[in-house]
Each structure stands twice: as C-alpha cells, then as structure tokens.
Amino acid sequence: MDNRKTRFSMGYFFLALLLLIGFQYFFAQSGREEIPYSELKTRIAAGQVDSVRVGEQVIEAVPTDTIRETTGPRLWTANRVEDETLIPLLEERGIPYAGMRVGWFAQAMVWLIPLGLILLFWVWMLRRMNPTQGVLTVGKSRARIVGQEGTGVTFEDVAGVDEAKQETVEIVEFLRTPEKFAKLGAKIPKGVLLVGPPGTGKTLLARAVAGEAGVTFFQMSGAEFVEMFVGVGAARVRDLFAQAKVQAPCIIFIDELDALGKARGSGGPMGGHDEREQTLNQLLVEMDGFDPHLGVIIMAATNRPEILDPALLRPGRFDRQILVDRPDVNGRHDILKIHAGGIQLASDVRLELIARRTPGFVGADLANLLNEAALLTARRDKPAVTMTEVDDAVDRIVAGLEKKNRLINDKERTIVAYHEAGHAIVAERVPTADPVHKISIIPRGVAALGYTQQLPTEDRYLLTKQELMDRIAVLLGGRVAEEIVFDEISTGAGNDLERVTDLARRMVMEYGMSRELGPINYAGSRKMQFLQNGEMSSETRSYSEETARSIDREVSGIISGTYERVREILQADRPVLEVLSQRLLDIEVVDEAELRQIMGLPPRRRSPPEQRIVETPPVTPELSAD
C-alpha cells in the first residue's frame, strides 16, 4: 500500500549505477601508464612498441609482448605534441599506426557523473521538503490498493457506541444479500459518513461492518491521495472503484476524508491543492456513476465534518451520516472489558470504577490507559496490574487530555449538569415542546453535527405562536437553571441565547406574531435574504427607525416574559432539578423514561421506530452542547 519502499529503492538504484560507472572508469584507467611524449618517442625508437594509435589529444602505444610480461603496463599513453617526425619514424620502424577518437566512454563520463550527482541532490532536496512524496514515482509505480478479505473485526470488538452500531446493521444486511434488496427495489445508501471525535472507534466500526458482512475491505486514507503530481490521486480513485466493482460486495473505506474533501478553493502551498481537487472531483464522479445495487458501499470517516466540501454531502453521495460519539459510563465500562482481555489484572481492579473516573475518555484513550497501566506494572516488577497502576495511568492521561482541552473540570461539569437538566425539565413542563429523548453531559466536540440550530424551512410556517414560545422557553431553561442554583450565570448559554433571539425576532418580523406591530412582514422577501446571505443591510430596510425600535421592544418583551415563565417552572421544580442533575453527574446520560420517572410523570408511549427522534427536532434540550 505504501510506496515509500519503491521510492527508496529508486534512490538506491541510482546510487548503485553511479558507483558501477565509477568503478568501470577506474578499471579502464588501470594498466595504463602515462609517460612524456619524448619518452614515448624514445621507446618507439628503441623498438619497445608494437602498435600506435594517434588520437586528437592523446597517443596510445601498445608495448611489445616482452615488455608487457615483465614490467606490466598494458598501454603507454602520452599527450600529443605537434611533431611531424612521428609518422616517418613509425613507418621507418614498420610499426602499424591508426587514428583514434577519444573513447566514447571517457567522454560520456565527463557528462554523466556530474549529471548524476545533480540528480541525486535534487531528489534528496525534494524529499526533504516533502517527506511523504517521491519524485521518481510518477503514477506508474504506484502500488495498487489491495482489498482485505474479511477484516476479522466484529461488532463484539466495538463497544460504547451502540447507536452507531445499530445504524450500521442495515448496511451489513445489505452487503450480505444485495440481491434481496435489489429485488425489492429498496433504496440503499451509497455513502455512509462516520462522524465523531478522534479515537471513538470510527475506523474500528468500519472494519467491523466489513467483518460482520464478510466482504472485502478497501481502506485508504484521505491524506494518501494528496500527492505531488497532478493526476496520480485521481488515477488511484479510478483504480479503486474499478477494483471494487469487480470484487463486489465490498466496502470502500476512506479514512480521514477531510484531508481530501476540504471545501474546494481552500488550497495549500505549491499548488498542491490542484491535485487534491482533482482527486476529490474524481471521487464525486465515481460516486455518482455507479449503481448502489452492485453491492459496493462507500464508507468514510471524519472528525471535522464542518470543513467538508458540501458537494460530498449531497444526496447520492455521503448522504447518510452516523454519529460516533464519546461513550458514557456504561460504554466505557464495556470498552474497558474488551481491552482488559489480554491483561493480567489483580483482583482489586474494578473496571466500573475506572469507567467512573474517566468521563470524556474515548475508546482509544481507554485502550491506552490499560496499556499504560500494564507498562507501569512491568516497570515496578509486579505480577499483575493493581488499582494503583491504573490510578497513576489515569492521572497521566487526564493531564495530557486537559492540555489538549478535551476534558472539563468538575465545577464546569456540575454547571453543565444543571444547565442541561434545566432544558429538559422545561421541555417536559411546557405543553407543546418536542419530547426529550435523552440528556447527556458527556463532553461533545463535533457532535453539533446533524443537530442544526436553525428551524427547518418547511416547518417554519407550520409552527403556532404557542409552539414558538415553548421553544424559546426550553432554550432559556439552561440559563435560568444556572441562575437559580448558582446565583450566577456562565457563558455556556451563548448559543441558546442566539437561537432565542433569532426565534423571537422572526416571530415579530416574519410571522407577524406581535400584537403591537401586527401581521406585517418586516424582514423582506426570502429571495433578498438569500442574496444577502441572511443579513439585512440598512439600505433594504423597509421600515422606519421608530418601527425598528418597537421591533426591538417587542423582541425583548417576548424573551423577558418567557424568562419569567421559565423561572417559575424551575423554581417549582427545584427538587426535581437537584435529583436530575445529581443523576446526570452520576451516570452522564439520562434517557426519556428515567427523566419522566424522576419528574413523577407516567411513561410516554414509545414512538414507532421509524419516527425515532434522533435527528428530527431542530431544537431539543439534549442538543444544546453548551
């Protein structure tokens, strides 16, 4: 898969060639003896020479047999001197002579050696500038991507990401029996994008899907495509898809898609992005141009979905996105169980305690943790890993993660717990809010994905005033809870407030829901908004300063009124707020059933599975990552 080896041997090949040429040159010189011209003439006169070749600059004389056998040299050479007596002398002696061109070899050497050195230097320079890229491997010598038949990884090896696993089950089914799906005309996703923070097991999950389905797995990393010479990456993509079609059913997995799929036009230095764009275009072309019923599924993983080129996410491409999020306590426990398999643990080690001590850890961190603990144990010459080593390892890793800003401290965690509990309680108490699916205080990096803060356009005209007011109330729930409990407020509600303001403004300006201003649209037509990127400039404002002031008054009226309403709700529910936050701090994730139980409400009838709420509601409390 990696071509670095080929590149290296190219370098060595050149070196060997140069050495060979050098040796030949050296040996060609040996057995010669250079003598002064006068000396040569003397030897000719003395009858020691058999034959002579006269070149433009050099004269070569072959000594007689006797001399060659006694003193050695094969050849005498002398620099030529303008001398008209030489030829008569040779004729008089009867010595054969001939003209001679300078040896082609010697002449070639004069050019080849410096040229070779320059070439080598150039290669070396380029490699130093860009260590991952070779220069001597333009396209042809690229190793092909080899599919792996059966990865040997199963769903058993992946833990703590049950929802993501659940979503891939259908893909496994399809890969096992593509004919069945084809006969039914069922629609199958072409591209599946795994999104989640680093180390949560995206690569592992993709391999597990291939392993479960027992199909060939083609893996490559987006970074590999980014080559120096234009055309190479695109050719590889073409090759990859051609191979996959032959080997279907199979999975093509592109790891770190963001390296390849960055929005076009955001190029790097040295025009390297041209290549990336070409490769990306080729990928889009290939994805568009094949029939999903062939039994080829394209999977990709990224931890930075926000920088991907939007073209990649269009229907028919990576239109299915699966969130692979950080595990909760139970998930961490399960992951620890998997990785504790090969490790000698002392009887005092309790994995569920470790799971509790490691909020924010992802699968890779947990695997690393157990490994660190084992290393520490070895260093301390103990027979088995005890809780002491585990604790030391946790401390070490926590320190590292804190530096990377990936963990929050206990105080922040408490605030987040009350904040989220506030959202959830309000959502259950107001009449029209979407039901709460789950509340989580697991730090989420990129998880905002798929949960957009905006209202979907289609819903916009279908919401009643009451529903909008309730949404605002839910959004304010977090901030109000913080204020009630801590008597101070944090920056955590910034995003909530942005959405609150946006909603209230739309109610007044777009939907005509304010009594004072009446049913008038002050926002301008939708088309104009689009043209101006959603922002209104003062030139297109079609109302007076005075109206602007009443709009502001109305908006803040809506918000402050709702704020009071929320405060009353939460104050009345203060005990519930306490219990729920404690529970959150304890187990990190509370689901709908438990929430309703804590609130003393009867269990809600389960919504049918096809209406699962995971990505539908644009504004629900569990979605506010702040």
Q: How far apart are CA 23 and CA 29, in angstroms?
A: 10
CB nearer to ligand ADP: give 201 or 249. 201
- Adjacent-strand bridge partners of 192: 299, 320
Among 244, 335, 393, 397, binds ligand ADP (CB under 6 A): 335
219, 253 contact by CB (below 8 A): yes
- The site map against Zn ion for 145-184 (x = CB under 5 A) is ----------------------------------------
Contact of residue 199 among ligand ADP, Zn ion, Mg ion, none (CB under 5-8 Å per partner type): ligand ADP
**CB neighbour burial string for 105-133, b if at least 16 within 10 angstroms, e if fewer:** eeeebeebeeebeeeeeebeeebeeeeeb
Among 78, 158, 312, 469, binds ligand ADP (CB under 6 A): 158
Q: At what angle do helices 494-509 and 545-572 cross, to 10 degrees?
A: 130
CB nearer to ligand ADP: give 205 or 513. 205
Size of the site for Zn ion (CB under 5 A): 4
Q: How far apart are CA 188 and CA 293, in angstroms?
A: 8
DSSP strand pairing (49-55 vs 97-100) = parallel
- Which two three-digit tokens encode residue 183? 């006969």
Which of 37-45, 97-105, 363-371, 580-588 is the region at the interface with ligand ADP (rule: CB under 6 A)? 363-371
In degrees, to the nearest 5, what angle opens at C-alpha 500 toward C-alphas 496 and 502? 115
Among 190, 202, 276, 406, binds ligand ADP (CB under 6 A): 202
Per CB under 6 A, 203 contacts ligand ADP: yes
Per CB under 5 A, 414 contacts Mg ion: no
CB nearer to ligand ADP: give 178 or 201. 201
Side-chain-facing half-sphere of 314: CA atoms under 13 Å: 9
- Adjacent-strand bridge partners of 440: 589
Per CB under 6 A, 159 contacts ligand ADP: yes
Per CB under 6 A, 364 contacts ligand ADP: yes
Residue closest to 298 by CA, chosen among 279, 284, 308: 284
Name the burial class of residue 596, with classes exposed (0-12), middle (13-18) and buried (19+) by CB atoms within 10 angstroms of its CB: middle
Which of 200-208, 461-469, 488-496, 533-541 is the region at the interface with Mg ion (rule: CB under 5 A)? 200-208
Among 73, 116, 198, 512, binds ligand ADP (CB under 6 A): 198
Q: At what angle do helices 86-93 and 37-45 cross, to 10 degrees?
A: 20
Min dist. Cβ of residue 225 to ligand ADP (A)? 17
Q: At what angle do helices 363-379 and 329-339 cross, to 10 degrees?
A: 50
Q: Please give the residue whose beta carbon sits closest to ligand ADP in the complex.
A: 363
Residues 6+ apart with CB under 8 A from 271: none
Which residues, 557 to 586, sit near Zn ion by CB under 5 A? Answer: none
CB nearer to Mg ion: give 202 or 505. 202
Per CB under 6 A, 161 contacts ligand ADP: yes
- Adjacent-strand bridge partners of 298: 191, 252
Among 258, 496, 573, 592, binds Zn ion (CB under 5 A): 496
Per CB under 6 A, 188 contacts ligand ADP: no
CB nearer to ligand ADP: give 340 or 427. 340
3-state secondary structure 140-163: CCCCCCCCEECCCCCHHHCCCCHH
- The site map against Zn ion for 436-475 (x = CB under 5 A) is ----------------------------------------
**CB neighbour burial string for 178-202, b if at least 16 within 10 angstroms, e if fewer:** beebbeeeeebbbbbbbbbbebbbb
CB nearer to Zn ion: give 426 or 469. 426
Among 302, 321, 386, 624, binds Zn ion (CB under 5 A): 624
Min dist. Cβ of residue 327 to ligand ADP (A)? 6
Per CB under 5 A, 302 contacts Mg ion: no
Min dist. Cβ of residue 619 to ligand ADP (A)? 28
Per CB under 5 A, 203 contacts Mg ion: yes
Which of 197-205, 263-271, 523-531, 609-617 is the region at the interface with Mg ion (rule: CB under 5 A)? 197-205
420 is catalytic: yes
In degrees, to the nearest 5, what angle opens at C-alpha 137 toward C-alphas 245 and 14? 145
278, 233 contact by CB (below 8 A): yes
Enumerate helices (H) and strands (E) in the chain, giving the number of each: 23, 13
Per CB under 6 A, 75 contacts ligand ADP: no
Q: How far apart are CA 606 and CA 620, in angstroms?
A: 17
CB nearer to Zn ion: give 562 or 624. 624
Per CB under 5 A, 358 contacts Mg ion: no
Beta-carbon count within 10 A of 104 CB:
8
- Which two three-digit tokens encode residue 394? 């946790």
Q: How far apart are CA 199 and CA 194, in angstroms?
A: 12
Residue closest to 578 by CA, chosen among 428, 425, 360: 425
Min dist. Cβ of residue 196 to ligand ADP (A)? 6
Contact of residue 624 among Mg ion, Zn ion, ligand ADP, none (CB under 5-8 Å per partner type): Zn ion
Among 175, 283, 301, 439, binds ligand ADP (CB under 6 A): 301
- Which two three-digit tokens encode residue 623? 């979605």
Contact of residue 496 among Mg ion, Zn ion, ligand ADP, none (CB under 5-8 Å per partner type): Zn ion
Of 224, 372, 420, 588, which one is the catalytic site residue? 420
545, 511 contact by CB (below 8 A): no
Length of the chain: 626
Min dist. Cβ of residue 281 to Zn ion (A)? 40
Which of 74-82, 202-210, 482-490, 580-588 is the region at the interface with ligand ADP (rule: CB under 6 A)? 202-210
CB nearer to ligand ADP: give 3 or 371. 371
Per CB under 6 A, 201 contacts ligand ADP: yes
Min dist. Cβ of residue 255 to Mg ion (A)? 5
Min dist. Cβ of residue 268 to Mg ion (A)? 22
- Which two three-digit tokens encode residue 246? 């032959």
Side-chain-facing half-sphere of 573: CA atoms under 13 Å: 31
Which of 154-162, 403-411, 452-460, 483-491 is the region at the interface with ligand ADP (rule: CB under 6 A)? 154-162
Q: How far apart are CA 98 and CA 120, in angstroms?
A: 40
- The footprint of Mg ion (CB under 5 A) covers 203
Residues that are catalytic: 420
- The footprint of Zn ion (CB under 5 A) covers 478, 496, 624, 626
- The footprint of ligand ADP (CB under 6 A) covers 158-161, 196, 198-204, 301, 335, 338, 363-364, 367
